[in-house]
Chains A and B, each alone.
Chain A
Amino acid sequence: GAGVSQSPRYKVAKRGQDVALRCDPISGHVSLFWYQQALGQGPEFLTYFQNEAQLDKSGLPSDRFFAERPEGSVSTLKIQRTQQEDSAVYLCASSQDRAQVYNEQFFGPGTRLTVL
């Protein structure tokens, strides 16, 4: 399909392991967003890219979290030395243009990360 895809859909990691979560936005979409959604809560903003530039990373909870989008399309969210509190669904979204108040964001299905 032509929507946002994320892989893997489910990831189980042992505490201390590094994980990498992938997001394929809709082709041609300029903006890409990452969110963290803990169980029973709303999504929390992590970071935002406009093409390959990371314009806002204020939501990344610690320096163990790192995101990149080197060619302005696919993005990877990396979590180093995972902790149990990192267990959540990680949502990726993209929008056609640069981020503006009224732009619609299209969400992927999410990656459910469980840290044991």
Chain B
Amino acid sequence: AQKITQTQPGMFVQEKEAVTLDCTYDTSDQSYGLFWYKQPSSGEMIFLIYQGSYDEQNATEGRYSLNFQKARKSANLVISASQLGDSAMYFCAMRENTNAGKSTFGDGTTLTVKP
């Protein structure tokens, strides 16, 4: 079974508007971490935001926030006030405490911001 599922291959958003990128995950671990990365066309993976499974508050980092719904096993990324430079591939990833050296990534969502 897929451990990380990103169901949106591509998304479009108008500049200055907010967009939500979906991510669902599957694990039997009680302790795990969820990550979002941005990968521009240049190829480097840029860390955006982290949510721990025991964190009670949703994580926020500037214009990025993570909508964590533990019971539904979802960890959606919300980008507010989209900018043209946000156009990139976005990956959701998980690390489980029983194997913390291994990150599992989804297949990504390509976000295009329209002017």
**Interface residues of A, Cβ cutoff 8 Å to B:** 31, 33, 35, 40-45, 48, 50, 55-56, 58-59, 89, 91, 93, 99-110, 112
| B96 contacts across to A, CB distance below 8 A | 101
Q: Are B99 and A56 in contact (CB under 8 A)?
A: yes
Residues of A within 8 A of B44 (CB): 107-110
Residues of B within 8 A of A (CB): 4, 31-33, 37, 42-47, 50, 52-53, 91, 93, 95-97, 99-108
A101 touching B52 in the complex, CB below 8 Å, given contacts A43-B45, A107-B45? yes
Q: With both chains docked as a complex, state the minimum distance between the C-beta of B93 and any C-beta of chain A, in angstroms.
A: 8
Within the complex, the shortest CB–CB distance from A113 to chain B, in Å, comes to: 13
B102: which A residues are within 8 A, CB to CB?
45, 48, 56, 58-59
Pairs A-B, 8 closest by C-beta atoms: A42-B105, A48-B101, A107-B45, A99-B101, A101-B33, A99-B100, A45-B102, A56-B101
